[in-house]
């Protein structure tokens, strides 16, 4: 048999085609996207590393301590987590964070090589915690913290550390992971190389890098942005001050505390921290900064006064001990004012804060290893001992206190005529569960629960909502609050001013490219709505025709099939088009859509509806939403609104099930995109009251449409 070259080449292509397709698929896998897949994570042995101990620990006496008779604290070593090995290298626990019944740990090495990792322990069932471990052979982590973004609802885990140098020699690194509902990270982090040798600490949205580094703020928006806030020499740690909303940085060689970062910076000289590359932590609580100063011990700074008020010296070495191992590395303060101090080979010192900021030493915990980091949250104490692992202690006898809560600044973008987006954080539960949290506001000072207020859930962490029913052009004061068994706690007071009512018609407009019609638009609650009914009319039918599965379009009181004729009707000019639900779903122009039920709720909340009414059916009356939405003319029996929202809802009537047009002048109805039990959710307004109605109706009805921008 004789084959031409063309035939042979064609046969080769047939044979190779599947292989070529496979190679192209491999080449285009998501792992080739360097911006979001900068890291690869290695498996870490987990079996047998988390050991249940249930061992009581006594608080031992120290010279100058008060002794166990003066407190009710009882410590139990519940679990011991042995240090992990990454790619053959034993790594050390460097930092600990606690969030939503999950423990997050970061790991690094004491020197080269660069290897590290992080672990998550799920304490949803405290008797049987679950360990999840992740290693990396090209970076190590000095610090970990978690942040729940009140705007997006995302929870982010931030890991700060260093990596193998890039071409520019940069090593400091930040990685931000999104946390899923199980408390575990999506292993596709945002990664940024930073100025400096190593990112030494991250706290809330503040980050510091060490040698040749500085301070960064983290923008938790969808793309994650970092802003360099200024150069610092030898930054060791960072902490957020909930009273001022500013950050503090602890610098080394010698120890210095910089407060008021980034806008009101002031340096307080503390001394200590004479060694290079050591861990030194600063934390904030009860109006004080607690600074671990290495060989300088622990310094307590009154943040309101801007001065040091107490110093606890570093521990004395035991006979023959190396003084470099008896230094103050870390500190944690809980809601009850108890202070836990990581003092290296001397163990964990336990003290409590007195009214003048001084510390009363109670004793120490001997865990049989050198301690480099402590974290106290709720009724737990977490102790990191380098390569020896992490001890997890339960504390009993802590007195309950009111929660610690802070109010966030109100962004200008969240302030409207009648509403404002507010946010806060419950920093600590005070030793008892937070059963209620929310906001209270007034035009006078110190708003409390006797003034206007709204609930916003329970528990610790970030939270937010929109408060409504406000007057235009008015200055308000708002405070976050939280409640537990010990009482009510209020955050700092924040002032904001609602927008002035500009008067006149809304001037923003949008032109529908399909027919050239220009629509007024209005922003309510951060959403841009059309300020008049949609009038897109590709076809028209008389009211006797209809369907639940095919699109139908109507013009009130028109009984023909001619689009041009229907558009000449005064009802078309006044009310636009009535759509059955299937038509409404695709009627909005590109870049706009039929609003969901939740988007309607956001509008209602922004205009002043009480949050507990949002999900109710039938009439909801708080905030007089109907009055604010309805036009100032056209409604029967003087049922007009004040149109203070600029929504300009006109009494367009509707096409009823089975055919007739009804209730012009008395009624307006608007579709949402949601369907419940095969019946679409809608909103309606009536001439005889000031509320707004929420229910479901048949898909064949003809209602108005208000589009909302994507």
Q: What is the pLDDT of residue 151?
A: 65
Start-end of CATH 2.60.40.10 domains in the chain: 404-497
The confidence score (pLDDT) of residue 66 equals: 57
Contact 331, 239 (CB under 8 A): no
Check if the beta carbon of residue 534 is closer than 8 Å to that of residue 704: yes
Judged by average pLDDT, the poorest of 12-16, 223-227, 551-555 is 12-16
User: Does residue 9 or residue 697 have the better pLDDT?
Assistant: 697
Strand extents, DSSP E, 276-435 = 282-285, 288-292, 298-302, 307-312, 330-333, 338-342, 348-353, 359-365, 373-377, 380-384, 390-396, 404-407, 420-428
Q: Once rounded to an integer, what is the mean pLDDT over residues 498-508?
A: 58
**φ/ψ bin of 561: left (φ > 0), alpha (ψ from -120 to 50), beta (otherwise):** alpha
Q: What is the pLDDT at residue 166?
A: 66
What pLDDT was estimated at residue 416? 77
Q: How many residues does the chain have?
A: 710
Q: What confidence tier does 70 reach under pLDDT thresholds 50, 70, 90?
A: low
pLDDT score recorded for residue 255 = 96
Q: Residue 25: its pLDDT value, please?
A: 31
pLDDT computed for residue 168 by the predictor = 64
Distance (Å, whole) CA 312 – CA 360:
10
How open is the CA angle 556-557-559, to the nearest 5 degrees? Answer: 110
562-610 tens-digit pLDDT: 999 999 998 999 999 999 999 999 999 988 999 999 999 989 988 888 8
Reported pTM: 0.64
The CATH fold of domain 404-497: Immunoglobulin-like (2.60.40)
For residue 401, give Cα distances in angstroms to 272, 376, 486, 490, 691: 33, 15, 5, 13, 42
Q: For all residues of the chain together, what is the average pLDDT?
A: 87
Provide CB contacts within 8 A for 577, sequence distance 6+: 533, 534, 535, 536, 537, 553, 554, 555, 587, 704, 705
Asked if pLDDT for residue 375 goes beyond 90, the answer is yes
H helices then E strands: how many in the chain?
A: 6, 52
Q: Is 710 exposed, middle or buried (0-12, 13-18, 19+ CB in 10 A)?
A: exposed
Q: How confident is the model at residue 164 (pLDDT cuts 50, 70, 90)?
A: confident
Stretch among 43-47, 320-324, 510-514 having the lowest mean pLDDT: 43-47
Whole-number percent of the chain with pLDDT over 70: 91
Q: What are phi and psi of 32, to 5 degrees?
A: -85, 0
Query: What φ, ψ does residue 427 adopt, rounded to 5°?
Result: -75, -40
pLDDT > 60? residue 636 = yes
Answer whether residue 234 shows pLDDT above 50.
yes
User: What pLDDT digit, counting tens, does each position of 350-368 carry?
Assistant: 999 999 999 999 999 999 9
The predicted pLDDT at position 4 comes to: 40
CATH level 3 topology of 50-396 = Methylamine Dehydrogenase; Chain H (2.130.10)
Longest dimension (CA), the chain: 104
User: Residue 37: pLDDT above 60?
Assistant: no
Element (H, E) at 605: helix 597-606
Closest C-alpha among 405, 432, 337 to residue 376: 337
DSSP class of 296:
T
Q: Determine the Cα–Cα distance for residues 448 and 451; give it in Å rounded to an integer.
A: 6
- Kindly report the backbone phi and psi dihedral angles of residue 608, in degrees, each rounded to the nearest multiple of 5, phi listed first: 115, 10
Please give the sequence-ordered ranges of beta strands (E in DSSP) within 89-232, or none if there are none: 89-90, 92-99, 102-108, 116-122, 130-136, 139-148, 155-163, 172-179, 190-193, 199-203, 206-209, 213-219, 225-232
**7 vs 383, higher pLDDT:** 383
Q: What percent of the chain has pLDDT over 90?
A: 59
Q: What is the DSSP string of 305-320?
A: TTEEEEEEPPPPPPTT
pLDDT number for residue 343: 96
pLDDT given at position 401? 85
Q: The tokens of 82 are what?
A: 């042995």
What is the rounded average pLDDT of the residues 332-355?
Answer: 94
Q: What count of other Cβ atoms lies within 10 Å of the Cβ of residue 448?
A: 13
Query: How confident is the model at residue 47, as a pLDDT?
Result: 83
Short-list 68, 45, 43, CA closest to 57 = 68
Whether 149 shows a pLDDT value over 70: the answer reads yes
Return residue ranges of the chain for CATH 2.130.10.10.
50-396
3 pLDDT above the threshold of 50: no
Of residues 26 and 263, more confidently modeled: 263
pLDDT beyond 90 at 100? no
pLDDT at 15: 38
* Cα separation, 426 vs 405, whole angstroms: 4
Predicted local confidence at residue 170, as pLDDT: 64
Rg (CA), the chain: 32
Per residue, what are the HEC states of 559-577? Answer: CCCCHHHHHCCHHHHHHCC
192-202 pLDDT per residue, tens: 999 888 999 99
Q: What is the mean pLDDT of residues 270-291?
A: 93
Q: How far apart are CA 706 and CA 710, in angstroms?
A: 13
Residue 286 to residue 611: CA distance in whole angstroms: 32
Asked which of 147-151, 154-158, 458-462 is least confident by mean pLDDT, the reply is 147-151
Q: Is 34 or 177 the better-scoring residue by pLDDT? A: 177
> Is the predicted pLDDT of residue 438 greater than 50, yes or no?
yes
- Contact 281/331 with Cβ under 8 angstroms? yes
User: What is the Cα–Cα distance from 214 to 234, expressed in whole angstroms?
Assistant: 8
Residue 336 has a CB neighbour count (10 Å cut-off) of 21
Token pair recorded at residue 400: 């309950």
Model confidence at 506: pLDDT above 90: no
Check pLDDT > 90 for residue 256: yes
Query: Does the pLDDT value for residue 691 go beyond 80?
Result: yes
């Amino acid at each position: 048999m004789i084959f031409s070259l063309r035939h042979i080449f064609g046969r080769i292509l047939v044979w190779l085609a599947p292989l070529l397709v496979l190679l192209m698929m491999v080449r285009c896998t998501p792992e080739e996207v360097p911006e979001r897949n900068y890291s690869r994570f290695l498996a870490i042995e987990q079996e047998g590393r988390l050991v249940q101990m249930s061992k009581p620990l006594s608080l031992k006496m120290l010279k100058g301590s008060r002794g166990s008779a003066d407190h009710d604290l009882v410590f139990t070593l519940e679990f011991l987590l042995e240090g992990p090995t990454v790619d053959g290298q034993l790594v050390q626990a460097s930092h600990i964070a606690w969030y939503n019944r999950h423990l997050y740990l970061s790991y690094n090495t004491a020197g080269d090589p660069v290897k590290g990792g992080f672990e998550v322990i799920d304490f949803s069932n405290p008797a049987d915690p679950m360990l999840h471990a992740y290693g990396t052979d090209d970076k190590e982590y000095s610090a970990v913290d978690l942040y729940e973004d009140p705007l997006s609802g995302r929870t982010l885990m931030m890991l700060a550390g260093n990596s193998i140098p890039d071409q520019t020699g940069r090593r400091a690194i930040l990685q931000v992971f999104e946390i899923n509902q199980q408390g575990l990270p999506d292993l596709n982090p945002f990664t940024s190389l930073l100025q400096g040798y190593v990112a030494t600490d991250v706290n809330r949205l503040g980050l510091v890098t060490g040698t040749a580094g500085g301070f960064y703020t983290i923008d938790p928006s969808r793309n994650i942005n970092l802003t360099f806030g200024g150069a610092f020499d030898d930054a060791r740690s960072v902490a957020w001050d909930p009273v001022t909303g500013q950050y503090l940085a602890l610098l080394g060689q010698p120890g210095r505390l910089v407060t008021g970062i980034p806008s009101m910076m002031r340096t307080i000289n503390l001394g200590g921290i004479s060694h290079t590359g050591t861990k030194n932590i600063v934390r904030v609580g009860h109006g004080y900064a607690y600074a671990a100063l290495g060989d300088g011990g622990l310094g307590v700074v009154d943040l309101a006064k801007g001065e040091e008020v107490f110093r606890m010296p570093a521990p004395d070495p035991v006979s023959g001990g190396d003084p470099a191992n008896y230094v103050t590395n870390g500190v944690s303060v809980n809601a009850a004012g108890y202070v836990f101090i990581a003092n290296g080979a001397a163990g964990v010192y336990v003290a409590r804060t007195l009214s003048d900021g001084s510390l009363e030493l109670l004793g120490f915990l001997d865990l049989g290893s050198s301690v480099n980091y402590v974290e106290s949250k709720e009724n737990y104490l977490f102790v990191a001992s380098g390569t020896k692992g992490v001890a997890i202690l339960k504390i009993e006898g802590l007195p309950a206190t009111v929660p610690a809560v802070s109010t966030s600044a109100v962004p200008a973008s969240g302030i409207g005529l009648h509403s404002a987006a507010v946010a806060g954080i419950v920093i600590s539960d005070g030793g008892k569960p937070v059963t209620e949290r929310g906001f209270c506001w007034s035009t006078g000072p110190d708003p409390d629960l006797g003034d206007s207020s709204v609930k916003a859930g329970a528990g610790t962490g970030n939270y937010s909502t929109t408060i409504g029913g406000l007057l235009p052009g008015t200055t308000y004061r708002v405070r976050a609050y939280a409640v537990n068994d010990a009482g009510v706690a209020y955050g700092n007071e924040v002032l904001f001013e609602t927008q002035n009512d500009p008067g006149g018609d809304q001037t923003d407009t949008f032109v529908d490219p399909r027919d050239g019609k220009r629509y007024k638009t209005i922003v309510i609650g951060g959403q841009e709505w059309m300020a008049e009914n949609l009038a897109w009319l590709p076809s028209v039918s008389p009211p006797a025709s209809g369907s639940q599965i095919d699109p139908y379009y109507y013009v009130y009181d028109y009984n023909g099939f001619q689009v041009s004729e229907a558009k000449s009707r005064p009802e078309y000019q006044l009310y636009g088009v009535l759509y059955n639900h299937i038509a409404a779903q695709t009627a909005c122009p590109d870049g706009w859509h039929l609003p969901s039920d939740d988007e309607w709720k956001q509008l209602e909340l922004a205009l002043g509806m009480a949050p507990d009414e949002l999900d109710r059916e039938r009439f909801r009356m708080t905030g007089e939403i109907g009055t604010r939405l309805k036009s100032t003319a056209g409604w029967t029996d003087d049922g007009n609104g004040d149109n203070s929202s600029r929504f300009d809802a006109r009494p367009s009537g509707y096409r009823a099930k089975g055919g007739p047009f009804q209730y012009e002048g008395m009624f307006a109805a608007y579709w949402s995109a949601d369907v419940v039990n095969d019946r679409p959710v809608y909103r309606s307004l009536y001439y005889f009251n000031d509320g707004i109605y929420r229910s479901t109706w048949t898909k064949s009805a003809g209602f108005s449409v208000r589009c909302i921008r994507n």
